[in-house]
Each structure stands twice: as C-alpha cells, then as structure tokens.
C-alpha cells in the first residue's frame, strides 16, 4: 500500500516590496546624513583665541583619604576632623565638577563608623565617584 506524504504548501509568492522600500529609505537617510556631516567640516570658521585655555590632557587628580586603625582621617599627610574633610572634599569637587573621584583607604581593623563618616562627607560634597580599596588576595 502506498503512503501519501503531504509536503506542505509552497510560499513562492512572498511580497518583498515593503522590505525593498525600507532598505531604500535607510540608504537615502544614510546618504543624506553623511553629506551634511561633510559640509559641516568644510565650513570656514575663524575660531576665537583664548590665552588661558588648554585641553584636558589628564584625568583630574584623585583624592586619597586614609582611615587608620583608630579611625583617624588623613588626607595628604594631614590629620583632619569631619568638618575639615568636608571642606577639602568640597574644594576638590569645585575644582573638578562632576569628575572628582575619591579613593578611600581604610585599615581592615578600623571601625565601620569612621568609614561611613568619609562616605557621608563625599555625599555632602556631591562627589559620587568614591571607592574603598582592598588588597588582592595572594595566590
């Protein structure tokens, strides 16, 4: 007895016209935007001079805040209290707005409260980029 196998319906009539329309639209869009970009570079513009302006060639200097075992806060070799630390951090944030970073180096035996004082001072000075460092484990 012969078995009849249904091979399915052939989709030989797929409409590709919308796909071709989208491809042509994208091609025209990229051609137009590329032309505008070149015309902006070719404009003759006389730029003003600024005697004190200089490009930023390096990242802003990071502020290192050290917290020792007793909870003392040391910045640049000077022992500071919470108010002095806040003043230093606000000045650093004013010198480098939106880019200032603080590296907190805390002794592993210090009180967590001392570490929170430094983080709170960073937040008050509107410095959002602060990190607590740790040593990598020895292999």
Residue positions counted in the chain: 139
Considering only CA atoms, which of 133, 134, 52, 129 is closest in space to residue 92?
129
Least confident stretch, 40-49, 74-83, 95-104: 40-49
Instruction: Kindly report, residue by residue over 59-77, the tens digit of the pLDDT.
Output: 667 888 888 888 888 888 8
For 70, phi then psi, to 5°, come to -85, -5
CA 118/CA 81 separation, integer angstroms: 10
* Per-residue H/E/C for 38-85: HHHHCCCCCCCCCCCCCCCCCCCCCEEEEECCCCCEEECCEEECHHHH
CB within 8 Å of 85: residues ≥ 6 apart? 65, 73, 75, 117, 118, 121
Q: What domains can you pick out in the chain, each with its CATH number?
A: 63-132 (3.30.420.270)
**Across residues 129-133, what is the average pLDDT?**
84
Per-residue pLDDT tens over the stretch 8-48: 666 667 788 888 999 999 999 888 777 655 544 554 555 55
């Amino acid at each position: 007895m012969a078995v009849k196998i249904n091979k399915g319906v052939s989709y030989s009539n797929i409409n590709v016209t919308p796909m071709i329309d989208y491809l042509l639209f994208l091609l025209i869009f990229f051609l137009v935007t590329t032309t505008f970009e070149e015309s902006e570079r070719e404009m003759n513009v006389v730029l003003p001079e600024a005697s004190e302006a200089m490009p930023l060639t390096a990242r802003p200097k990071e502020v290192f805040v050290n917290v020792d075992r007793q909870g003392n806060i040391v910045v640049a070799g000077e022992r500071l209290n919470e108010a002095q630390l806040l003043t230093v951090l606000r000045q650093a944030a004013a010198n480098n707005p939106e880019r200032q970073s603080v590296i907190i180096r805390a002794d592993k035996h210090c009180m967590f409260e001392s570490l929170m004082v430094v983080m709170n001072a960073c937040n008050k000075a509107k410095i959002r980029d602060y990190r607590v460092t740790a040593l990598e484990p020895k292999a």
